[in-house]
Structure 1
Amino acid sequence: MAPNCTPKTNRFMLTIQFDRRADRPDAAGRCPIHLRAYFDGLRLRVATREKCLATDWNADKGKFKKPFPGLTEANEYLETLAERMQARYRQLRSAGMAVTIEALKAALAPPVEAPKVEEPAPIFLTDLYADYQAALKARGNLVQSMVSVATTFTHLNRFEKVLKRRLLLGDYDLALHDQFLAYLRGTRKLGQNTVCKTVKHVKAFLRYVREDRRLPVAVEAREMKIRWAEVEKVYLSAAELSLLEKALLPSSLVATRDAFLFCCYTGLRHSDLTELSQANVQTWDGSRILRLTQTKTRTAVSIYLTPPAAALLDKYDGTRAHLLPATSNQVMNRNLKRIGQLAGLRDLVEVVTIEEGKVVKRQQPKHELVSMHTARHTFAVLSLMRGLPVAVLQKVLGHAKIQTTMLYAKVVEDFQHQEMRRIWEGNATPVPAADSNPVCVIEAAVA
């Protein structure tokens, strides 16, 4: 059949042909290839976007021929166009719908690409933790309380480096949490209670993510179970405190010793000692007292200044903006170990730690265990031994819960039991309190 002749078609049949429009050559002599369709007495012509020379076209068969480049792919493309139009024609007929030129043209239109749905940006665990830190700061959390929050952030960053990948929020499930705990204990060599404190911050972070940011988390706080280890608090006996008071020290260590003794007499934390000013000193019944708001808990406390404490204030009166000399906690802790050694705190004590799930016991000189917080423990234990009621001690220390103060009462109770057993079951010869060496554990105390 000649290419330009209209074929005879059945009323309900679609006939498709391809021809080359020789009347529309381009500058290179290539003419466009068109699809012609005949159906229901109608005729349709559609450009295929293909072009070729006369030598590349088989007019009888209506397809490309050699030497047309890409011959096979080009002919397959024409067949695909014909099949798509035939399929659309049958679809309309089967549905009882009118077959129109526009409907058949639409079958050859390039498929409309579905709009690209942008994938949500990945939520990295440490990025979200940084947001959490910023939120805590904005909500007025104290700098001191933010230190351990920042330490947990450091642990998470280092954990990612061990894994050699950045963690997504959804990655942190119970299995990965267990890996994190193993890293803290095994690689970082952290003690049980330090690990517990880290887990406490991770739990608080995940609560913030779920409740404040409304993001799904892969592990619930209740699933992250961990136990705090019971710790015995390091404190000085009355005899050991006396040794410290009388020790001959280099002038460079005297100020640290005096600051430590003042905390032993008042129960102050290092953070409160560094902020003391003359405004905190008031008179009461002819004596002096301290009134202050604790830095850590924001609890208002009132502390009676005993004669030794008052004497230390007088020693440094007018010499500085703050009442007593104090440097950083780390420097003072380092100095205290040397001071304790010079004062003769050399008695060995049993140090109990938990390493890789095992209880490890070591003998260690007591002076190596002394820190600024030892002063607070010393004040609490010696006050109870002198008969200060637990409820009064709770107010002085600023504890919100009396259970925290009762930890000191247990130490005194154990001491009383030991003394009764010594007197009734052993030699009744008095033993100096400095000789009693309670078991100590190197862990941060709760109080």
Structure 2
Amino acid sequence: MEISRYLRQDRADENGECSIDFRVCWKQQKIRFSSGYKVHPDDWIETVEVVVDPATGRRRKRKKFQTLDRAVNRKLDVYSYGLEEYFDKLDYYPTISEVRAELTRIRQAELGIEPKQPEKKKPEETAAIGPTFFEFWDQYMADHAGLKAKHYVRHFKSTKDHLLHFAPHADFKDITLPFANRFLQYMMKQGVQDETAYKQLKHLRVVMRYARKCGIAIPNDFEDFPSYRSIIQREALKWDEVVALQNVDLPNNLVRQRDIFLFQCYTGLRWSDLKHVRPGNMIEIRSDGNEMEPALRLIQEKGRRENLVPLTDQAVGILKKYGGTLPIISGQKYNVLIKEVARKAGLNRRVVLTEYYAGQRVDVEKALHEIISSHMGRHTFAMIMLDRKVDITDLSDLMGHGSISTTMIYRTIRGEDKIKVMQKAWGKQSAKI
């Protein structure tokens, strides 16, 4: 067994003093420990591993005039002699934990040094481990800002704002099923439509899942948060209504918005993808008849997948009219102007919309031109293709859906088709309302 002392000069404090440490080696094992004393390097004699009196060590350069600091050296010797006696009386080589236990005994019994007890922090002084709930929410949005569309992050920002108003001091441990139910009731009392309120809960559930993946301890019942099965009303224009839009006389500012809507009806593109239509996206592909046909090749904003969209003659005509780049404006302005276009085109067909507020059903009847929007052009494309007996799998590919189950939403029987089905079963009915 060998014991040596050395100065930790790599860890000097603000006064330049360094800790005196011990190194103990035996039978291919080694430990290091601090003596608990610090000295200035000028007061340490490395060759004999002793401390000199600071009053003489720094002023007198000649060692024969230096006097030793007997008090400190005596305490250092207690460690050395105590460990030597401990090893001498053993007939085996101790483990590291046994040697550390002996060091603790030497400190307490022979040097009178009690082990330091960790200070108990007051609850309010205890530092929080990891991010708070709302800090983590910001982290989630930052982590997904470059991976998702802009509106995705914007929706999560809206949910966070609602949560801050509802429970500004909420933390992960508070996000339980009762919390979710209270938040849902709060949203409904604010006049938020039921479907929107349930979407806020969906966002909350997504963030909680992400927190669990990041190793944060969260309540287990967040997967039981209530979900909403909405009544999906995919209203679309009939072909004669599309023709009415084509033929209506309009001022120039409305002509541009009408053309954009018709382009959606002919291609099925989402509003978010229209801004990416450029001359460079136009290609020609060879058809079965060995002829070259025009098409668009785009990376979809939603899902970031490549989609190849063949172009009809009407769609090509619109692109040529604007030099291959559509005159896109903001979505909000567009939805206002396209309603005016539809009104001038006489799209007055009555449509009943069903909505739920605080669990109460509300049926609202409106004219078609009052509810037309950018996404209705995409719906119209889907319904026209289905009316013309296009296979649902092919339609899913044309629309760039990630799953055919999304396209199946459009596969509903229209009113006139239902009449044909009933007449086939019951014959033509003569009763009138």
1:126 aligns with 2:134: yes
Partners of 2:366 and 2:292 lie apart in 1 by: 45
- Could you say what secondary structure the match of 1:425 adopts? coil
Find the counterpart in structure 2 of residue 297 from structure 1.
303
Q: CA RMSD in A?
A: 2.7
For residue 155 of structure 1, the aligned residue among 139, 159, 162 is 162
**In structure 2, do the counterparts of structure 1 residues 388 and 220 end up closer, same or farther at CA, with 3 Å as the change threshold?**
same
Equivalent in 166, 170, 179 of residue 169 of structure 2: 166
SS in 1 for 2:334: helix
Do structure 1's residue 221 and structure 2's residue 222 form an aligned pair? yes
Q: Once the 2 structures are TM-superposed, how far is the Cα of residue 238 of structure 1 from its aligned partner?
A: 0.7
* Partner Cα distance (2:220, 2:241) in 1: 49
Partner of 2:70: none
How does the TM-score come out when normalised to structure 1?
Answer: 0.64
Aligned to 1:233, the other structure's residue is in SS state coil
In the alignment, structure 1 residue 259 sits paired with structure 2 residue 260: yes
| Counterpart in the other structure of 2:203 | 201
AA paired with 2:144?
Answer: L
- Counterpart in the other structure of 1:189: 192
- TM-aligned CA deviation for residue 354 of structure 1: 0.9
Taking the aligned partners of 2:304 and 2:405, their CA distance within structure 1 comes to 19
Match status 1:333 vs 2:335? yes
Flag the 1:403–1:128 CA change in 2: closer, same or farther, 3 A.
same
Contact 2:233 2:353 in 1 (8 A): no
Note the 1:272-421 alignment, pairs <5 A.
272-284=273-285, 285-317=291-323, 323-412=325-414, 415-421=416-422
Q: Distance in 2 between matches of 1:310 and 1:113?
A: 80
Could you tell me which residue of structure 2 aligns to residue 141 of structure 1?
148
- Output one character per residue of 1:2-38: Cα deviation in whole Å (capped at 9) or x when no partner: xxxxxxxxxxxxxxxxxxxxxxxxxxxxxxxxxxxxx
Contact preservation (8 Å) 2:166, 2:183: yes
Does the 8 Å contact 2:140/2:207 carry over to 1?
yes
Report how far residue 399 of structure 1 moved. 1.0
What's the CA shift for 1:125? 2.6
Question: Which 5+ residue runs of structure 2 have no aligned equivalent?
Answer: 1-107, 286-290
Amino acid in structure 2 at the alignment position of 1:116: K
Deviations 1:98-151 (A, max 9, x none): xxxx99xx9xxxxx986133513385432221121112236x333343232222
What's the TM-score once normalised by structure 2's chain length? Answer: 0.66
What stretches of structure 1 of length at least 5 have no aligned partner?
A: 1-101, 107-111, 429-447
CA distance in 1: counterparts of 2:423 and 2:157, whole angstroms: 48
Cα separation, 2, equivalents of 1:196 and 1:304: 37
What is the CA-CA distance between 1:388 and the residue it aligns to?
1.1
Structure 1 Cα separation of the partners of residues 416 and 275 of structure 2: 32
Match of 2:178 in 1: 175
Partner of 1:72: none
Cα 1:175–1:341 change in 2 (3 A) is same
Give 3-state SS (helix, strand or coil) of 2:294's partner.
strand
The one-character-per-residue Cα deviations of 1:400-427 (angstroms, maximum 9, x if unpaired) are 2111111111245x64223444684247
In 2, Cα distance between equivalents of 1:298 and 1:136: 14
**CA shift for structure 1 position 188:** 4.1
CA distance in 2, matches of 1:420, 1:207: 46
Deviations 1:229-271 (A, max 9, x none): 1312011011111111112222221111110110010000011
- Opposite residue 253 of structure 1, the aligned amino acid is L
Partners of 1:254 and 1:226 in 2: CA distance: 42
8 Å CA contact retained: 2:236, 2:383: yes
SS in 2 for 1:353: strand
The number of residues matched between the two structures is 311
Moved more, 290-299 or 183-192: 183-192
Hey, which bits of structure 1, 4+ residues long, moved more than 3 A? 419-424
User: What is aligned with 2:119?
Assistant: 115
